[in-house]
Structures are given as C-alpha cells and as structure tokens.
Structure 1
Amino acid sequence: MKFSQTLAALLFCMLPLSAAALDFGKIRADEISVYVQDLETGKVLIDHRSGVSVNPASAMKLVTAFAAFQALGKDYRWTTDFKSPAPVNGDTLEGDIYWEGSGDPVLDQDGLIALQQQLRDKGIRKISGQLVLDRSLWGEVKNGKEFAADAGETYMTPPDPNRLAYKVVAVKAERNPAGDVVWTTNPPLPDIRLDNQTTIVPSTAECKSISRYMRGRYTGGALVISGNVPETCLSEALYVNMLTSQDFARRSFINQWRAAGGTISDGLKVAVTPSDAKTLATLQSKPLSEILADMNKFSNNLIARSVFLKLGQSKDLHEALRRADSAVKLELGAAGVDTAHLVLENGSGLSRKERLTAKMMGQLLEKAYFSGYKDEFIGTLPMAGVDGTLKTRLKQAGEKLVLKTGTLKDVRALAGYWLGEQPKVVVVMINSPQADTYLKDMDRLVSEIVLPGGKSWVALDASCEARQDV
C-alpha cells in the first residue's frame, strides 16, 4: 500500500496542471487568460484563452523592456549636455547657457548638481545670461484624455526633453542643532511660500511611509503641507508633483546654482542650441539595464514612455511614436515572437488601447530567458514578498517568483517566471469589471500554478511527495 501511495505521489508531481483542473475561485473563466510553459522542456503546461487579445496594463512594460534590450543594448546610456556659444571671461560665462536635453528619464537633482559642479570646475561662477531649454526633441508630450482625472498624479508625469526628478519636489523636516524642526525642499524654492500646517507627534514607531501621515499640494502660489507627522518620520521625504516641466527645470537649475554660491540672470528661454555652442558639462545616465529595473520593479510609466520614444529615434513626437511601434514589432518578430495581436500606444500600459495575448507574452518571456541578457532581464522584475510592486504579495514564494504586475481599472495582470525547481513562464491576465475584487483569487491561482500545493503555502520548501500529505 505504501509503495502504491508513493508511486501515486510521484506521478502527481510529474503531471502538469490542465486548464480544466485550475481553480479560478471567484474569477469567471471567460475573464481570465493563462499561459504557463516549462522552460526546461518547452512544453506548454497550461493554455487557457491564451490567444485572446487583452489589455495587459503595466505588464506591457515587459514588451518595451524586451525591445530596448534588443535594440539599444543593456549598456545604453542617455546623455545630457550643458552648452554655450558664449565666451568665458574670468569666472563669468558671458551669455546664455543651453540645456540640451535627451529625454533622460532618470536625471535627478543630484545629476543636475553634478553637471553644475563641472561648470564650477571650469572656473565658472557667474552666468550673465539666462537658462535656455533646448526642446527640439519631441516638444511637449501629453497624456491621453481618458486619464484626465488622474492628471495630478506622479505616475501621469509624461516624458520631456528636459525631464528632471520626475517633476516632484522633495519636502522633509529635520531637527537643527537647537532642536527646532526645520522644513526644506529639494530643489530649493525660495520664491515659493511654504505654508506649514503640520503637527509633529511624539512617536517611537517605525515610519513605514510618510505619505500615510502627511499631504502636500501646490495651490495659490504656495506649497501647503499638512498632517500629523510622527517624530520618527522626520528626515523622510514627501514628494509633491508641482509646477510645469519647464518651470520645474528653470527653478531647479537657477536655485541649485545660486544655493552653491553662483549667480545667473532670472528668466527662461526656449531655443535650439546654436551649432557653434561648446559643451561645458556632460552627464551620462546609469545603464539601460538599471533603468529598466527601476521601470519594472516600480512600474514607472515615465521611464517606459521615455524608452518607447527613444526606440522611435526621431525628434518629431508623432514620427517617434510611429517608428517606435514599428521598432518594437520588428525586434519581437525577429526574435520569433508572434505580434499579430500586439497593439501599442506608448509602451507603458498606461493605455486603454494597448493589447496583446497571454501567449505572445509567454513567447517573449521564453525568448528573454534564453537570451544573452537573461540575467539583466530577470533582474528588472519584482521579487515576490521582497521588493517593488510585489513587496507585499505572495510573500511565501520569495525571490524565486519574479513577476511584472499590471493594474488598471478593470485590469489585473502578472507575467514573469518561477525560478525554482522546474522553472516556468507564468502569465495570468484578467480583463473584467470585477478585476479589483479578484486579486486574492489571482494570487492563489499563481501559487497553485508555480507549485502544486502552493495555494496554502504549506511546507513550501518540502519535497513534492511530502506536500501530497498536506
């Protein structure tokens, strides 16, 4: 009897789950697509509506990441230049300084300060002219009208030639040597009144997120901050999306320069950099592989849209979008991925138009797994219970389960890999008016797919035979 039970358990471990055997919980079978493939044998283990065209939400970022690795290479970097045709006399630049933007999606205040330090290293302390933004790349990029209600949210910040720090001001409080609470902003904003309506509350509890206790908004020309802020949240930054892209770049450049002791004329110009301008400072971004990790782990729409436009290789916005669509499909097609149902708009998933199939996503993941950039691609994905958008989900699975999430109204998606015993491609996509109520059932389903018996996450590290006793 014991032999027969053991044999049955072993046979169970060898059998793939069939779509018919899947427990969708409350999820309607006609509202979910599932595609699972064994990466060692290539065998498709589960295929449920994998050929149906669906909205993947932010899982679409995997498509953009794949095409970027293919077309640009994992070591690609954006370059930002400060230039001027004006001469330098003594410590003075006798004219305007041009910010020639490349659309670097991760240029931050530290990067801006590093660029300005290069100016000081050349002996420049005074700029007699103004800051000039070269916006010949793309110009103004707008958001879709269908997301107008979310216009003020940070995740809606669009790409921009002179994008800086996601266009957010970091606000934080610290105690000075006298024990007084001092509020600061980065960048410095001496011309904007800080209306402090906060109360500092004594506390010894860990500050997990200052946004739980504090709010910030820009209204009537003032930055208003409010809330009851625990003592332990001091030194934690609250990020406030404010100002236009051009005004944010202007204030950041001028105020950072002046804060370091430099002088520059007020005002802002927009013009193309003169052909005879000399490069005074230059900065390269971190490599593409690291930028794509920021994009996928935290589902950053700005990065995804910027990378998509970069794939378009055109200064004209509409032409860049058209070429990017073609470039992505070309790279996927050349790799053997079927793009017949692929519909692109901006490559981020922040779209009601974008579409693909679970099978296409599965093919893409398989190709990436066997590519020369396998480790870098996998490294961009959130790890279950560890980081990114999966930090609080599927915790028991741990770092062996890496999945890109996707969330929109009426859409939930997970796509990536199980990297434990019997590695798998896992794709689960839900398009339903009830999608937000299906999250727990979705996670239970993924748990069962990656490891039979995993639904309850009991004895996850035990052998397959042992799990049959649960």
Structure 2
Amino acid sequence: MPAPAAPRSRAAGGGLARAIDAIVDAPRFAHAWWGVEVRSLRSGRIVYARDAQRNLKPASTLKLVTTAAVLDALGPDERLRTTLETSGRLDGLGRILGDAYLVGRADPDLSARFAEGRPTAAFEEMADALRQAGVRRIVGRLIGHEGLFPGERRGDDWTWNDLVWGYGAEVSALSFNDNVAELTVAPGEREGDPIVVDRAPVTAYYRVTSTAVTGPRAGTRELVLKRDFGTNIVRLSGAIALGAAPQTLTVAVEDPARYAATVFAEVLAAKGILVDGGVETSVAPLPSGLRVLASHDSPPLAEVVKVVNKVSQNLHTEMLLRLLGARVKGEGTVEMGQAAVDDFLHRLAVDSESWARQDASGLSRSDLVTPHGMVGLLAGMDRHRSAAAFRDSLPVAGVDGTLEHRLQQPPARGNVLAKTGSIRYVNALGGYVTTRSGDRLAFYAVVNHHTGPSSDSLGALDAIAAVLAAQ
C-alpha cells in the first residue's frame, strides 16, 4: 500500500500542532530550516507535518536507512567470519610453507567491544587455534586481504579534519579496533612535567611523539594533536592543565588492513608463532586452493546494528553499506551498496526519489533526505520481519546510547526510541514514541542552518519528542 502523501504544511492536530509550532517558530530559529513529520502507526494518519517534503541534511539519522536495508537483506542472525587461510603445506616442523591470508569479510567488531576490553581477543583466539594445530612458523608472508571492498576507503564529501579522528576512519573489509588508536592523556604530577600518554593497543604500527607538558591549573594553553596524512605518526604538543581529568582521544590510522595484519603478526609472535616474510596487504582475488587454518565469527548482525545506532558508529555503517553491495549486487562498493538500498526503499514504498545519499553514515555534507520519506521508512520497518531488531537498535531516551543523558524525565524517558544526528549546523532526531494514551508514533524532526548554539537545536528536538510522548 502506498505511503500517505505528506501535506505541504502542517496537518490538523489541535493542541499538538500548536505545541510543535511554538517550538520550531521560536525567534532563535528565524533563519533555520525545519522539517517535521509525525505519523500514527495505529491508523497510518499523519498527525503533524511541517515542510516534510523538503530535502534536508540528516547527519547520523541516515544510519536508519543503512541499518534497515542490511537487516532486510541479511537478517538479524547473520554472522561475519574472518579467516586465516593458506595453500601452503604444514610440514613436520610446524612450518606453513607458503603465504597466509588474513581475510576480512566486513566484521566491524574485531575489537574490545564484545571481548571484555581486550582489543586483540579475536586474534588471540585465532593464534591459539594455530598453536593447537601445531603451527609454529609461517615461512611466507602474512597478507591482510581486503578485496571484498575494492573501492574508495573514504566517504564522499568528508572533510580533511574528519579523516584525522575516529569518526572519519578509513573503511576496509579487514578492520581492527575501529581502525583507530586510542590515546589516554593526562597531566603529570607537577607543572612543567611531560604529560602522561597511554596507548591502546600497544603496537609498533603507529608511533606517538609528544612535547606536551603539564600546565598551570588555570592555564588556557590547550593540547594539540596532529597526524600527517600518509603516516601513522601522532604528534602531541601544547599543554594539559595540572589536575585535569584524563581524556581519551581516538585517532584514525592509515591503511586499516595493514594495521590489522601487523597487530595479528605481533599476537602470533607473542604466542610463539613467527612470520618470516613480513606483512603485506592485497585486494586482488584470493588464490585458488586455500584452506582455512583459523576463523572468528562476529556477533549476530542484530548486535552489530545495535552498536551502529546506539552509539552512532560511522565506520561500521560504511562497512555495512559496502557489505550490502557485495551480498546483493556482487560488488562491495558504495555505488552498489546504494543501489541495493534504492531497491529496498522501493520495495518498502518509501518516497525517496528526491534524496541524495553520498555515504552510509551521514557524515557527508551532501546527504539529503525528506522527513516524509524517513517517516515512511520508520513505518515500514515497524511492520518488517526484522522490526524487533531494528527497534532494539535505537537509543532509549534517558537510558542508553546517544539519548542516555537526554529526555530523562517522564513521560519521554523509556518511551522514545530514536536515532540522533549532529554535524555542523545540523541536528536531527527520528524514531518511535509510545504516547501517554497508548498510541505509537513514528516521527522525524530535523533542523538545518541554525548557526546558534547546538544546544538550542537539541533542546527543541527533545521538546518535540516530549510533546509527542505526553499525548
């Protein structure tokens, strides 16, 4: 059944319309663009709309589209397997006589996330399997294979500044530790002391140099972090005030597949398995005749999607889009992933013809969606066979994810399940509300071009959600 057409302006809603109008018509938003739509899931009726057909930047609420499409294609129980493979013979001395391939198949959680804080847990598991099989040496090379995703590692229209930090990490089918280095920095004991830097993981793949010092308690000098493009050398300078709390910086690393293979080689060495031929990477087709020496399976896709939407994980979303292209269209590129998403949106009867999607995560400043189309997606997914996994992936107001510290008071607390989105001059919120009267609503609200404090926009979005919950 086709989705109901969105009114050009607001739908009749009495007190609800007046309450939302009062929020978006506040003088501080005089120069901003708003788009809002609210639909009853019980009746299918649009109960409020404000410029719901306008194309607006969605920021991270675009993740709703990607995660819905991948759940539709693969299902919530799918697991993604990383393998170590070789065609080399294992001789009587415990030597693999040939190269070994660490094959990435888009598991985004080769990290500490599901491993009790141990980032190398998956690699340790695979190394232990090799030891048990009698392997003590790889005579050839250890090759990190990322051929499932042959295209560009960075998103279209991402900024230079994005690429330094974890939220703009390069995309690879073989990704480790979210393709970042985590640096925890803290002041020394006395003014003038070097700052304290802890690294995770500890690996030779990246290097940290620091001239930063401990500044006075009331000092205004700030810590400066730089990583030159094309290198994995992180430089710290400036100062951290005496007595300041430790902070963790997530820095993107270059060449993720080499990062993963290097750390795996270090884990193998620690387990007494040496690699003679060094570490390389490849996107070329895998050679024939390979057999699996060890493997690691990801958590179920429902848990992978939950990470994406709860904490708004950009890298994982970009990996899922390319995985969608590989599985549905036979090519793990952004273009084929978007083509698969287009097919999904068409099947769900989502009005998305005017949209522009340059990436999967919403980090691109060229992404455009309509509130009407996004509510159509939410309504469609509420009827989908993977509806429960999709809903469970969303932040819960006042409870977890990016809404843990928002909407903490009843009736919104626990009754608003929604994805957040924020980039410069863009804030959005979209998901589901269970109202005080027992109705269930799908809603999407977004504001673009508000150049005032982002707290204004966040407060307004939360106020809209609270109004809905109170109905």
Q: Answer yes or no: same fold by TM over 0.5.
A: yes
Q: Does 1:189 align with 2:189?
A: no
Q: Would the alpha carbon gap of residues 182 and 142 (structure 1) be closer, same or farther in structure 2, given more than 3 Å must change?
A: closer
CA displacement at 1:126 relative to structure 2: 1.7
Q: Would the alpha carbon gap of residues 367 and 251 (structure 1) be closer, same or farther in structure 2, given more than 3 Å must change?
A: same
Counterpart residue type for residue 369 of structure 1: D
1:273-322 deviation per Cα after TM superposition (whole angstroms, max 9, x unaligned)? 32111111122211111111111111111111111111112799987333
1:49 corresponds, among 51, 56, 79, to 51
8 A contact 2:419–2:431 mirrored in 1 = yes
Aligned match of 1:3: none
State how many pairs are aligned.
Answer: 426
- Report the 3-state secondary structure (helix = DSSP H, G, I; strand = E; otherwise coil) of the residue aligned with 2:175: coil
8 A contact 2:77–2:300 mirrored in 1 = yes
Q: Does 1:127 align with 2:143?
A: no
8 A contact 2:146–2:257 mirrored in 1 = no
How many angstroms apart in 2 are the aligned matches of 1:191 and 1:331? 40
1:353-385 deviation per Cα after TM superposition (whole angstroms, max 9, x unaligned)? 222210111111112122222221111111223
**Residue correspondence of structure 1 range 240-279 to structure 2 within 5 A:** 240-269=251-280, 270=282, 272-279=285-292
Aligned match of 2:164: 152
CA displacement at 1:327 relative to structure 2: 1.5
How many angstroms apart in 2 are the aligned matches of 1:105 and 1:381? 18
Q: Does 1:161 align with 2:173?
A: yes
Coordinate RMSD, CA, aligned = 3.6
Aligned match of 2:441: 424
TM-score, scaled to structure 1:
0.79
Q: Would the alpha carbon gap of residues 199 and 59 (structure 1) be closer, same or farther in structure 2, given more than 3 Å must change?
A: same
1:443 corresponds, among 454, 459, 462, to 459
TM-score, scaled to structure 2:
0.79
Aligned match of 1:364: 377
Aligned match of 2:94: 91
Counterpart residue type for residue 456 of structure 2: K
How many angstroms apart in 2 are the aligned matches of 1:353 and 1:437? 22
Aligned match of 2:78: 76
Q: Would the alpha carbon gap of residues 438 and 447 (structure 1) be closer, same or farther in structure 2, given more than 3 Å must change?
A: same
Bigger Rg, which one? 1
Q: Does 1:384 align with 2:384?
A: no
Q: Would the alpha carbon gap of residues 215 and 294 (structure 1) be closer, same or farther in structure 2, given more than 3 Å must change?
A: farther
- Report the 3-state secondary structure (helix = DSSP H, G, I; strand = E; otherwise coil) of the residue aligned with 1:66: helix
CA displacement at 1:113 relative to structure 2: 2.0
Aligned match of 2:117: none
Counterpart residue type for residue 147 of structure 2: S
How many angstroms apart in 2 are the aligned matches of 1:17 and 1:315? 42
Q: Would the alpha carbon gap of residues 266 and 419 (structure 1) be closer, same or farther in structure 2, given more than 3 Å must change?
A: farther
How many angstroms apart in 2 are the aligned matches of 1:124 and 1:412? 53
Gaps of 5+ in 2: 1-12, 112-119, 187-194, 216-221
1:46-76 deviation per Cα after TM superposition (whole angstroms, max 9, x unaligned)? 1110011112111111011111111111112
Q: Does 1:374 align with 2:348?
A: no
8 A contact 1:53–1:356 mirrored in 2 = yes
**Residue correspondence of structure 1 range 170-319 to structure 2 within 5 A:** 170-171=182-183, 185-190=199-204, 195=209, 239-269=250-280, 270=282, 272-313=285-326
Counterpart residue type for residue 96 of structure 2: L
Aligned match of 2:415: 400
2:428 corresponds, among 390, 394, 413, to 413
Counterpart residue type for residue 162 of structure 1: L
8 A contact 1:198–1:229 mirrored in 2 = no
Gaps of 5+ in 1: 1-12, 175-180, 202-212, 455-459, 465-470
CA displacement at 1:255 relative to structure 2: 1.2
Counterpart residue type for residue 142 of structure 2: L
> Larger helix proportion, structure 1 or 2?
1
- Report the 3-state secondary structure (helix = DSSP H, G, I; strand = E; otherwise coil) of the residue aligned with 1:247: helix
1:32 corresponds, among 31, 34, 56, to 34
Q: Would the alpha carbon gap of residues 91 and 318 (structure 1) be closer, same or farther in structure 2, given more than 3 Å must change?
A: closer
8 A contact 1:137–1:315 mirrored in 2 = no
Aligned match of 1:324: 337
How many angstroms apart in 1 are the aligned matches of 2:16 and 2:328? 50
